[in-house]
Amino acid sequence: MSVVITLIYVVLGFIYSAVYFSLYTLIIRYFDTTQPVGTENWITWGIFIGVAALVASVIEKLLTIFDLREHESLLDTDPVTGVIEILTQAVPAFFRGTLWAGGILIINGIAGALLPDLNIVRDIASGLGLPL
């Protein structure tokens, strides 16, 4: 079960690394006076960060059904408590995804220094439709 959860956060880390790479290009463009900086993409970045963490927390919560060692009963709480638990699990999911994203960005930087044509995070960001 922990392997599945780790894979969820690796995927979340890849999504976050693409979002942070896209934010990095905006920050670099901020200091360029010839290109204007657009602020219309903040909603897109926020949706990618928030929805990805929420989906990871929902999947993690649903995996408790299949975990026989889990002592928490998913069905004896009211729906409001279940929604609150899922939303509160999204906060640690954000931080776990950010930690994975930091590691992925470091590995991507090292790979980019060794092989200049290789930039996996840029390819993921362009695949997700994020601005570069």
What confidence category does residue 73 fall into, taking pLDDT thresholds of 50, 70 and 90? Answer: low
Residue 72: pLDDT band with limits 50, 70, 90? low
Distance CA 9, CA 77 (A): 26
Asked whether residue 74 carries a pLDDT value surpassing 80, the answer given is no
Domain that holds residue 90: 3-128
CA 56 – CA 15 distance, rounded (Å)? 12
Average pLDDT over residues 46-73: 78
Spatial CA neighbour of 7 closest among 100, 102, 122, 120: 100
pTM across the whole model: 0.81
User: In this predicted model, what pLDDT tens digit does every residue of 2-36 receive, in sequence order?
Assistant: 888 889 999 999 999 999 988 887 777 777 666 66
In this structure, is the dihedral angle defined by the CA atoms of residues 25, 30, 32 and 37, taken in order, positive or negative? positive
Please give the pLDDT value at position 100. Answer: 93
**3-class SS of residue 34:** coil
Q: How far apart are CA 25 and CA 41, in angstroms?
A: 12
Residue 42 has what pLDDT?
76
pLDDT value at position 102?
Answer: 93
For the segment 92-131, what is each residue's pLDDT rounded down to a tens digit? 989 999 999 999 999 999 998 999 888 888 888 888 888 8
Whole-angstrom distance, CA of residue 41 vs CA of residue 63: 33
Burial (0-12, 13-18, 19+ Cβ within 10 Å), 44 = middle
Total number of domains constituting the chain:
1
Under 8 Å CB-to-CB from 65, ≥6 apart: which residues?
74
The predicted pLDDT at position 107 comes to 93
* Helix, strand or coil, per DSSP, at residue 36: coil
